[in-house]
Amino acid sequence: MSTNTAFKNEAPNEAPRQSLDSAVVRFAGDSGDGMQVTGGQFTLSAALAGNNLATFPDFPAEIRAPVGTTFGVSSFQINFGSSVIKTSGDDFDLLVAMNPAALFVELKGLKQGGIIVVDKGSFSDRNLRKAGYEENPLENGTLDAYRLIQLDISQLTLDAVKEHGLSNKEALRCKNFWTLGYVYWMFAHKRKETIDFLRTKFAKRPDIAEANISALNAGHSLGETSEAADGFQGFAIPKSEDAAPGLYRTVMGSEALAWGLTAGAQLANLHMTFCSYPITPASSVLHQLSNMSEYNVSTFQAEDEIAAVCAAIGASYAGTLGVTSSSGPGIALKGEAIGLAIGIEIPLVVVNTQRAGPSTGLPTKTEQSDLYQAVYGRNADSPLVVLAARSPAHCFEVAVEAVRLATKYMTPVMVLSDGYIGNAAEPWLIPDINAIEPFPVTFRADPEGFHPFVRDEETLARAWAIPGTPELMHRIGGIEKDYDTGHISYDPSNHQKMTDTRAAKIKGIANDIPAQTIAAGPDGGSVAVVGWGSTYGSINRAVSNLLDQGKQVSHIHLTNIWPLPANLGELLAGFDKVLVPEMNTGQLLTILRSEYLVPAKGINKVNGQPFKIRELEQAITAEMEG
């Protein structure tokens, strides 16, 4: 259904809101239109309405792209509903387009029959041309397949904020909150939290805060007063009923990572020294932790990524938990130093918030293409532990586990996140840190029988003796050390022994991590779909849908990338086919094939967008039938 003007139909009034199980909304506008803030506020209101949700902020690489251009479009997608939400959604039900460029870029993702809310006031000839439209799509019938709600949001906003005496430019900046007010009405969300947010955010400019609040209220009341005329009553999405009881919040991946690292350091009874160099999309972890000095955290912005990792290693050497964080290009620079940390066997956590590459690639777009780099990307035989988070909230437990393994085994641990996980948000059942089993570190103090490479027989971890400890003075470094004395050794057979020991230590961790479980479907049979990282939601939903259709298929999702879980080989052997969807050209695929000699097949894409559920269903089905 399409209506060219929102309110002209004669319609019965007092109709109830239309009940939906879930909805996908995409806010799209110019970089300067505030779509990310709008999306963030909408996320909060959906969470407070008791919905499950998943979000996908999708913004351009340019800080301030020219106004009105297609490459300046910034979008925020949210999938929210009463049942389990696994992804930010494939196609959207509602597209909010603040200008022609946003409509041009995003229309292809809207469902047939979906709703478009546009700011008619921004569809000037000039803006249409900038977006690449030859004719005005609002007028030429090309949007007939959709339900078009066109409002002169620019003018309505100016009217709504008039009394606050802002300049025209400042007044127009309130457009996004006007729109948010309208969309709140559509889904019966409450405005209170957003009003509080605005008053805090603009505490120093109360006129701007109040103008935005007026805009928000005006957008909302336009919805209320227009409903009867149009017959469109808005939607109602019931509270989710399947959430486990407890206290919830929304959390972004970067927050969960920062908090998880902090929690891990506390559980290890260590101060954390976090050293980093800014890079998109990893910087948010640095920003988050820089604000947490009261939580036994120090942060250091180094002169480059090499300095950052080396300072972190120095900090571990001196008895704190050294952590460094970057994205692929920065991780590449850290490679040599990570090798040193492997050689001297020192705890270190390295976080890689992956982005599309090679080189600068697509810095704001997500990809999972640093798996080889994590597992293999250093000179020589230099094994370390690799863990991958599958969702924003999952970053917390992965970070805690990274600290546990790094300190228990005296090893670097690489944590893989990605741009999508880092920026996306989801509801989180807040854990009780006091309920997590602590793993306090004991530094070596006893000089009896000490040398720097004296090992724990079970874990093979060497003793951690820190400068300042009487009688334990020792020298370590990158030159190979004698297994029995810890002194420099050029003896070839000793090098063999030390190389074997380093490998055995990491391999042995397979017995100290959870056995691999099945995320959906039977634990053997015809097809296993094996994933890792942020593809979790899409794969899980796709496999669940196929299971509902009676297909025999299972989902296995790896958190422990290296070492792989001890039972994984056996598990995979129980399936006729193994499919590996990844946002790269087949990296886990190669590892599984080389480790287990399974004839696994890849489902791969690298277009900067997460997998769509439908896409995966089709690919899996094709493989099953093929």
Q: Is 246 in the site for other proteins (CB under 8 A)?
A: yes
* Residue 433 binds other proteins (CB under 8 A): yes
* Residue span 482-501 as binding mask against other proteins, x where in contact by CB under 8 A, dash where not: -----xx-------------
Given a contact cutoff of 8 angstroms between Cβ atoms, the answer to whether 241 and 82 are in contact is yes
- Could you tell me the smallest distance in angstroms from the CB atom of residue 402 to other proteins? 16
Query: Binder to other proteins among 67, 145, 302, 518 (CB under 8 A)?
Result: 302
Cβ atoms 218, 159 nearer than 8 A: yes
* 440 is a contact residue toward other proteins (CB under 8 A): no
Residue 293 sits in the site that holds other proteins (CB under 8 A): yes
By CB under 8 A, residue 515 contacts other proteins: no
CA distances to 93, 552, 617 from 549, rounded to whole Å, are 24, 9, 11
Count CB-CB contacts under 10 A for residue 437.
Answer: 6
- Least distance between other proteins and beta carbon 508 (Å): 27
Q: How far is 330 from 304, CA to CA, in rounded Å? A: 8
Pairing of strands 348-354, 412-418: parallel
Instruction: Note whether 261 binds other proteins by CB under 8 A.
Output: no
**Residues 212, 174 contacting (CB under 8 angstroms):** yes
Where do the H-state alpha helices sit in 142-205? 153-161, 168-172, 175-187, 192-201
Identify which of 469, 491, 467 has the alpha carbon closest to the alpha carbon of residue 481: 491
Candidate residues 17, 111, 271, 444; the one interacting with other proteins per rule CB under 8 A: 271
Minimum Å gap between C-beta 474 and other proteins is 7
**Closer residue to other proteins (CB): 46 or 153:** 46
Distance of CA 605 to the CA centre of its chain: 18
Show the binding pattern over residues 173-202: x = contacts other proteins (CB under 8 A), - = does not: --------------------x---------
Q: Which amino acid makes up residue 341?
A: A
| Position 586 contacts other proteins (CB under 8 A) | no
Q: Is 249 in the site for other proteins (CB under 8 A)?
A: yes
Stretch that binds other proteins, among 99-107, 209-217, 247-255, 594-602 (CB under 8 A): 247-255
Cβ within 8 Å of residue 603, ≥6 positions away: 579, 580, 581, 582, 616, 619, 620, 623
Looking at the Cβ atoms of 18 and 293, the one nearer to other proteins is 293
336 touches other proteins (CB under 8 A):
yes
- Torsional class of 363: left (φ above 0), alpha (ψ -120 to 50), beta (otherwise): alpha
Determine, following the binding rule CB under 8 A, whether residue 570 of this chain makes contact with other proteins. Answer: no
* Footprint of other proteins on 11-70 (CB under 8 A): 44, 47-48, 50
Among 10, 14, 432, 457, binds other proteins (CB under 8 A): 432
Cβ closest to other proteins, residue 163 vs residue 484:
484
Nearer of residues 85 and 97 to other proteins, judged by Cβ:
85
C-beta of 122 vs 299, nearer to other proteins: 299
Residue 599: cis peptide before it, omega within 30 degrees of 0: no
DSSP 591-616: HHHHHH----EEEE--SSSPPPHHHH
Applying CB under 8 A, does 479 fall inside the site for other proteins? yes
- In whole angstroms, the minimum distance from the beta carbon of 487 to other proteins comes to 7
Taking CA 550 as the corner, what is the angle to CA 549 and CA 555, rounded to the nearest 5 degrees?
90
Q: Is there binding between residue 203 and other proteins (CB under 8 A)?
A: no
Query: In the block, which residue shows the tokens 């999708």?
Result: 58
Residues that contact other proteins, how many (by CB under 8 A): 72
**Which of 256, 405 has the CB closer to other proteins?**
256
What residues from 458 to 477 belong to the interface with other proteins (CB under 8 A)? 466-477
Q: Is 307 in the site for other proteins (CB under 8 A)?
A: yes
- At its nearest, how many Å lie between other proteins and the CB of residue 379? 11
Alpha helices, DSSP H, located in 326-369? 328-344
CA distance 477 to 337: 11
Q: Does 262 bind other proteins (CB under 8 A)?
A: yes
Question: Looking at 136-144, 206-214, 290-298, 564-572, which segment touches other proteins (CB under 8 A)?
Answer: 290-298
Residue 146 C-alpha from the chain's centroid: 31
Q: How far apart are CA 195 and CA 306, in angstroms?
A: 44
Contact present, 444 and 464 (Cβ < 8 Å): yes
Q: Does 398 bind other proteins (CB under 8 A)?
A: no
- In this chain, which stretch among 333-341, 367-375, 407-415, 544-552 interacts with other proteins, using CB under 8 A? 333-341
Beta-carbon count within 10 A of 449 CB: 7
* Residue 236, token pair as written in the block: 């109602």
The answer to the question of residue 447 lying near other proteins (CB under 8 A) is no
Binder to other proteins among 319, 357, 533, 610 (CB under 8 A)?
Answer: 319
Beta bridge partners of residue 553, listed in sequence order: 527
Bridge-based pairing state of the strands 560-562 and 385-388: antiparallel
Which residues have CB under 8 Å from 139's CB, separation 6+? none
244 in contact with other proteins (CB under 8 A) = yes
Residue 275 interacting with other proteins (CB under 8 A): yes
Q: How far is the CB of 404 from other proteins (least distance, A)?
A: 16
CB 27 within 8 A of CB 172: no
Cβ-based nearer residue to other proteins, 167 or 442: 442
Q: Is 406 an interacting residue with respect to other proteins (CB under 8 A)?
A: no
602 binds other proteins (CB under 8 A): no
Q: Is 245 in the site for other proteins (CB under 8 A)?
A: yes
Position 313 contacts other proteins (CB under 8 A): yes
Closer by beta carbon to other proteins, 30 or else 255: 255
Under the binding rule (CB under 8 A), the answer on residue 266 touching other proteins is yes
The least distance separating other proteins from the CB of residue 354, rounded to whole angstroms, comes to 24
d(CA 549, CA 499): 50
CB of 76 to other proteins, least distance (A): 18
**Residue closer to other proteins, measured from CB, 236 or 466:** 466
For the bound state, the minimum distance from the C-beta of residue 318 to other proteins, rounded and expressed in Å, comes to: 4
- For residue 477, the minimal CB distance to other proteins (Å) is 3
Site residues for other proteins, 205-234, by CB under 8 A, read none
Count CB-CB contacts under 10 A for residue 306: 16
Buried residues in 494-532 as b, exposed as e (16+ CB within 10 A): beebbeebbeebbebbbeebeebeebbbeebeebbbbbb
Q: How far lies 509's CA from each of 406, 412, 414, 504, 513, in Å?
A: 11, 13, 14, 9, 7
Give SS3 for 207: helix
Report the residue from 279, 315, 342, 603 that binds other proteins according to the rule CB under 8 A. 315
